[in-house]
């Protein structure tokens, strides 16, 4: 018997949770429920995180959490509980299977059977944002080697366990050579450890276009957080409906399972909602806790019910459906089909699959030789002439063993040899390198900043330029 934490959430949450639990219990799930309150009531009682401290203790103790959607109240500084949970519990992997059920659920992609594996903790979702000038704000995109290794390895191990043939990686490393470049590099490294699984990389734009047009080309797709967020919704939608997909959020210790849709408040309390998304989340959970026989039984009964044309309003179509049912009746129809298999749709078999993936702990590599070779000083300057700014900055050179080597504006090189046509904001990156024969030091950076201060140049931030084992760890200016 496995104890799991359950939260019924808001809106349609309680109805779809009741239906889901009724189905999995009828199928023989060996689980004991520990219910907690999260969401709207907790938020509106003044807790901006939407969850009480005691509930965290329960989630951490049970380690497995089945969560119905919750309503995040608008405004008022309320934090998304989903994002908080993922980060607090280190749920680094988001797994979302998207399979079409043609001809029973309308889709343009009858052959689609894709699993999106999305990195869940880092990238632009670190939420580190700053306004630096009147005109420019920035968001830091953080990609780490442990983050990449964990998610990519998860994707390959998932593929291995579930008999999937190919893992595809989507990045934009032609532009983001450092961040997406690292993700791609780690993908290639890890892929080489799984010669039995095909691997490929696509630049995200054309990859996404292919996925939307011919999703049957793909099997497992792994990608950084933001791309995964967008593409996993698209994948679920083109498979048939976002209302049919569930997702697993997996960490080293804990895991959370949910539907991908929200709390649909307008549909609440009317016995209308489709419980399938949360049921899919529960099936992922049953596999995770090793109750693969129950997971398989539920999934096959659910496929059979969809095939029987017993549909809730959201997927009901006169051509494909036989009976329009409510949440409870749908659950009862699935229960009546337990033990049955679909006859047209492909039945699932989780034998040999299932159970939580056991990944090796991340091993820190031998540190590279790190050498400070320059500095980018960011300047708030409201003029429009890069030559004039360069002239001001070159005054710094007189008292420092450093020289200005480049100025960019929004990444485009504007000095030396810029184009008049290039539009410039008030946010300039000014790159200093040590003069020949001397080396860059932190003290020299401080000196440059002090000189800039004397010259009344408004410096807003610095980024140190490093080489790692002799390879530049920073981007060149566009056009450099
Ligand atoms: P939503 O997913 O709740 O609804 C979008 C549309 O899909 C609506 O028309 C809705 O009626 C329909 N729909 C969704 N689930 C359905 C189901 N199971 N059966 C039938 N129809 C269904 O998205 P929204 O309206 O943008 O958000 C509503 C609330 O949900 C917001 O407060 C949002 O913050 C929250 N939300 C929560 C989660 C979560 O807890 N994981 C995820 C997304 C949104």
pLDDT tens for 403-435 read 999 999 999 999 999 998 999 999 999 999 999
Which residue's structure tokens are 């607090």? 88
Give pLDDT, residue 476.
85
Q: Which is the catalytic residue, given 10, 229, 308, 332?
A: 229
Position 471 pLDDT exceeds 90: yes
Give pLDDT, residue 350.
87
Residue range 64-75, pLDDT digits in tens: 999 999 998 887
387 is annotated as an active-site residue = no
Give pLDDT, residue 178.
96
CB-based burial label for 190 (10 Å; 0-12, 13-18, 19+): buried
Q: How far is the CA of 300 from the centre of ligand 1 (A)?
A: 26
Which residue's alpha carbon is nearest to atom 9 within ligand 1? 264
Q: Alpha carbon 151 to chain centroid distance?
A: 10
Q: What is the mean pLDDT of residues 308-336?
A: 94
pLDDT-based confidence at residue 477 (cuts at 50, 70, 90):
confident
The phi, psi pair for 131, rounded to 5°, reads -95, 130
Q: Which atom of ligand 1 is nearest to the CA of 71?
A: 32
Contact present, 85 and 101 (Cβ < 8 Å): no
Q: List the single range of 20-24, 42-46, 135-139 with lowest mean pLDDT.
A: 42-46
SS3 (DSSP) at 355: coil
Q: How far is the CA of 109 from the centre of ligand 1 (A)?
A: 24
- Residue among 279, 287, 348 nearest 312 (CA): 279
Cα–Cα distance for residue pair 312/321, rounded to 1 Å: 9
Q: Which is the catalytic residue, given 63, 150, 172, 341?
A: 172
Q: What is the mean pLDDT of residues 42-61?
A: 91
Q: How far is the CA of 332 from the centre of ligand 1 (A)?
A: 23
As a dihedral over the C-alpha atoms of residue 121, residue 124, residue 129, residue 131, rounded to 10 degrees, the angle is 180
Which residues are CB-contacts of 134 (< 8 A; sequence separation ≥ 6)? 380, 426
Structural tokens at position 208: 């996404």
Instruction: Show the ligand 1 pocket: residues with CB < 6 angstroms.
Output: 12, 16, 69-72, 82, 243, 258, 261-267, 273-274, 277, 314
Contact present, 336 and 432 (Cβ < 8 Å): no
DSSP string, 268-334: TTTT----HHHHHHHHHHHHHTT-HHHHHHHHHHHHHHHHTTEE-TTT--TTT-SEE--HHHHHHHH
Q: Which atom of ligand 1 is nearest to the CA of 274?
A: 19
Q: How far is the CA of 264 from the centre of ligand 1 (A)?
A: 4
108-239 matches 370-472 in fold: no
Choice from 20, 74, 261, 274 to test ligand 1 binding pocket (greatest atom count within 8 A of CB): 261
Give pLDDT, residue 296.
96
Residue range 83-107, pLDDT digits in tens: 888 888 999 999 999 999 999 888 9
Position 13 pLDDT exceeds 80: yes
Which residue's alpha carbon is nearest to atom 5 within ligand 1? 264
Q: How far is the CA of 17 from the centre of ligand 1 (A)?
A: 14
- Residue among 436, 461, 440 nearest 136 (CA): 461
Q: Which atom of ligand 1 is nearest to the CA of 267?
A: 11
Longest dimension (CA), the chain: 85
Which residue's alpha carbon is nearest to atom 42 within ligand 1? 262
Position 355 pLDDT exceeds 80: no
Give pLDDT, residue 78.
78
57 is annotated as an active-site residue = no
What is the CATH code for 1-88+255-353?
Answer: 3.40.718.10
Residue range 281-309, pLDDT digits in tens: 999 999 999 999 999 999 999 999 999 99
- For domain 108-239, is the CATH number 1.10.1580.10? no
Give pLDDT, residue 108.
93
Choice from 42, 263, 276 to test ligand 1 binding pocket (greatest atom count within 8 A of CB): 263
Which residue's alpha carbon is nearest to atom 26 within ligand 1? 262
Which residue's alpha carbon is nearest to atom 39 within ligand 1? 69
- Residue among 121, 129, 134 nearest 88 (CA): 121
CB-based burial label for 456 (10 Å; 0-12, 13-18, 19+): exposed
Position 389 pLDDT exceeds 80: yes
Q: How far is the CA of 396 from the centre of ligand 1 (A)?
A: 56
SS3 (DSSP) at 428: strand
Residue range 180-222, pLDDT digits in tens: 999 999 999 999 999 999 999 999 999 999 999 999 999 999 9
Structural tokens at position 377: 């000083």
Q: Where are the domains of the chain?
A: 1-88+255-353, 108-239, 370-472
CB-based burial label for 303 (10 Å; 0-12, 13-18, 19+): buried
Q: Which atom of ligand 1 is nearest to the CA of 74?
A: 32
Q: What is the mean pLDDT of residues 398-406?
A: 93
Q: Which atom of ligand 1 is nearest to the CA of 39?
A: 40
Give pLDDT, residue 444.
96
Q: Which is the catalytic residue, given 57, 134, 205, 213?
A: 205
Q: What is the mean pLDDT of residues 340-353?
A: 89
Residue range 78-87, pLDDT digits in tens: 778 888 888 8
Position 356 pLDDT exceeds 80: no
Position 59 pLDDT exceeds 90: yes
pLDDT-based confidence at residue 401 (cuts at 50, 70, 90):
very high
Give pLDDT, residue 354.
62
92 is annotated as an active-site residue = no
Q: How far is the CA of 42 from the centre of ligand 1 (A)?
A: 19
The phi, psi pair for 458, rounded to 5°, reads -85, 90
Position 352 pLDDT exceeds 80: no
Residue range 108-146, pLDDT digits in tens: 999 999 999 999 999 998 889 999 999 999 999 999 999
Mean pLDDT estimate for the chain: 94
Partners of 172 in beta bridges = none
Q: How far is the CA of 114 from the centre of ligand 1 (A)?
A: 22
More confident residue, 161 or 170: 170
Cα–Cα distance for residue pair 396/400, rounded to 1 Å: 6
Q: Which CATH number fits domain 370-472: 3.30.70.1570, 1.10.1510.10, 3.40.50.1370, 3.40.50.410?
A: 3.30.70.1570
pLDDT-based confidence at residue 243 (cuts at 50, 70, 90):
confident
Task: Count Cα atoms within 13 angstroms, Cβ side, for 273.
Answer: 31
């Amino acid at each position: 018997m496995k104890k799991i934490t359950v939260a019924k959430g808001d809106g349609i949450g309680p109805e779809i949770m009741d239906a889901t639990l009724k189905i999995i219990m009828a199928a023989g799930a060996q689980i004991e429920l520990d219910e907690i309150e999260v969401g709207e009531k907790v938020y509106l009682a003044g807790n901006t995180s939407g969850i009480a401290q005691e509930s965290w203790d329960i989630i951490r103790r049970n380690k497995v959490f089945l969560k119905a959607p919750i309503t995040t109240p608008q405004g008022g500084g309320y934090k998304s509980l989903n994002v908080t949970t993922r980060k607090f519990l280190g749920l680094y992997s988001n797994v979302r299977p998207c399979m079409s059920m043609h001809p029973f659920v309308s889709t343009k992609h009858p052959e689609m059977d894709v699993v999106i594996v999305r990195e869940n903790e880092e990238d632009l979702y670190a939420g580190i944002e700053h306004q630096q000038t009147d005109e420019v704000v920035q968001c830091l995109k953080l990609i780490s080697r442990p983050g990449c290794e964990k998610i990519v390895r998860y994707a390959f191990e998932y593929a291995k366990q579930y008999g999937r043939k190919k893992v595809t990686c989507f990045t934009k490393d032609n532009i983001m050579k450092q961040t997406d470049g690292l993700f791609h590099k780690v993908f290639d490294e890890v892929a080489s450890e799984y010669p039995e699984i095909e691997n490929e990389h696509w630049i995200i734009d054309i990859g996404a276009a292919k996925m939307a047009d011919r999703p049957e080309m793909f099997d497992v797709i792994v990608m950084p957080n933001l791309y995964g967020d967008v593409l996993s919704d698209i994948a679920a939608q083109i498979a048939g409906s976002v209302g049919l997909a569930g997702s697993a959020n997996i960490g080293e210790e804990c895991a959370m399972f949910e539907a991908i849709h929200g709390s649909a408040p307008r549909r609440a309390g009317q016995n209308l909602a489709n419980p399938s998304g949360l049921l899919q989340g529960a099936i992922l959970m049953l596999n995770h806790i090793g109750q693969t026989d129950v997971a398989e039984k539920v999934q096959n009964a659910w496929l059979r019910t969809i095939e029987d044309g017993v549909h809730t309003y959201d997927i009901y179509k006169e051509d494909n459906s036989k009976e329009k049912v409510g949440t409870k009746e749908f659950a009862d129809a699935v229960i009546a089909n337990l033990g049955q298999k679909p006859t047209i749709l492909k039945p699932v078999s989780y034998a040999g699959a299932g159970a939580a993936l056991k990944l090796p702990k991340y091993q820190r590599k031998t540190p590279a030789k790190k050498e400070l070779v320059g500095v980018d000083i960011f300047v708030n300057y409201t003029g429009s002439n890069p030559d004039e700014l360069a002239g001001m900055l070159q005054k710094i050179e007189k008292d420092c063993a450093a020289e200005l080597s480049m100025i960019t504006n929004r990444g485009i090189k504007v000095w030396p040899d810029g184009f008049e046509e290039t539009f410039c904001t008030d946010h300039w990156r000014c790159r200093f390198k040590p003069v020949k024969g001397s080396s860059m030091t932190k003290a020299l950076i401080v000196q440059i900043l002090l000189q800039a201060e004397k010259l009344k140049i408004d410096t807003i931030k610095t980024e140190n330029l490093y080489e790692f084992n002799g390879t530049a760890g920073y981007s060149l200016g566009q056009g450099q």
